[in-house]
Structure 1
């Protein structure tokens, strides 16, 4: 079974590329290659959520909440990757959404334990899709590498609009212990 969770090229808009194609949001329900919806996770699946302020303190809370949640779920082997992915997604939301939506509600982080996977979500009030910065792959840039890090550490990631405004950026990580 092969999962199609985002278009093969990217689920985001490349920045600064005049020939860039726009990829729309992902479908609400991930589907198998033949179009069959994946089985849904029961509503009783372990989940956790927290709102953070758009500040350095909020990002510190994102890191500690991630570590604490994974510790409670006996997933400390996923802790480093999940903490880095959540911090990058939260930093993007705090940096970009806060500047575009002053006075908007805080950023909301979510975790959902699925069979063999951990789903991380970050919701913010900004309607703009995430953007992969050009040249961020050089390793010499001080900013702009966040989504490339998310892509490298997650099995899949993407975004979806939320009603009435905003978006949710998500990443799916394996919960299998390392071999």
Structure 2
């Protein structure tokens, strides 16, 4: 695991900080499988708890659910055989930002505010971004700079 994007095999231990103070970063590549998405969700949960956003609190559950939905979307809609997805979590002050990058450039989500209504036609999935839209304070997506694909991000306030 990496706590910093310097090298794929490096680990960086950050000094203990008061809850929600300072800046913490976790970033790691995961296999573009359901197992990779589950592992991403679990590691986000562990990191948040280590960083002072404890299990069982509203902010913890919100950020973990947002991360889970974005990772699942990367696997379901952004999967390219042989390519991984990257999840990054940054907690700075009172804000958590989750970014998930995949390598599939031709399938992009709608922009915030342009999501379809959750009608009966969404019987088999299709609600992930609706959850993100409801839970996150802000979200969006952008093309990956210098690489094929996109990054979907969401920000959640940590009161």
Q: Equivalent residue for 1:148?
A: 130
* 8 Å CA contact retained: 1:133, 1:145: no
Q: Equivalent residue for 2:77?
A: 96
Task: Extract unaligned runs of 5+ from structure 2.
Answer: 1-21
Q: Equivalent residue for 1:171?
A: 154
Confirm whether residue 161 of structure 1 aligns to residue 127 of structure 2. Answer: no
Moved over 2 A (4+): 131-142
SS state of the match for residue 52, structure 2?
A: coil
Root-mean-square deviation (CA), in Å? 2.0
Residues 76-127 of structure 1: per-residue CA shift (max 9 Å, x gap): 23221111111111111111111xx222x21100011122100000011011
Which of 86, 91, 94 pairs up with 1:113? 91
Q: Equivalent residue for 2:14?
A: none
Q: Equivalent residue for 1:71?
A: 49
Query: Matches of residues 7-26 of structure 1 in structure 2 within 5 Å?
Result: none
SS state of the match for residue 148, structure 1?
A: helix
Provide the rounded CA distance (Å) in 2 between the counterparts of 1:155 and 1:134: 19
Across the two proteins, how many residue pairs are aligned to each other? 130
Which of 41, 49, 53 pairs up with 2:27? 49
Task: Extract unaligned runs of 5+ from structure 1.
Answer: 1-43
Q: Equivalent residue for 1:129?
A: 108
Residues 43-82 of structure 1: per-residue CA shift (max 9 Å, x gap): x831001211121211210121111010111112322111
TM-score w.r.t. the length of structure 1 is 0.66
Q: Which is higher, the Rg of structure 1 or of structure 2? A: 1
Distance change (3 Å), C-alpha of 1:116 and 1:53: same
* 8 Å CA contact retained: 2:34, 2:75: no
SS state of the match for residue 46, structure 1?
A: strand
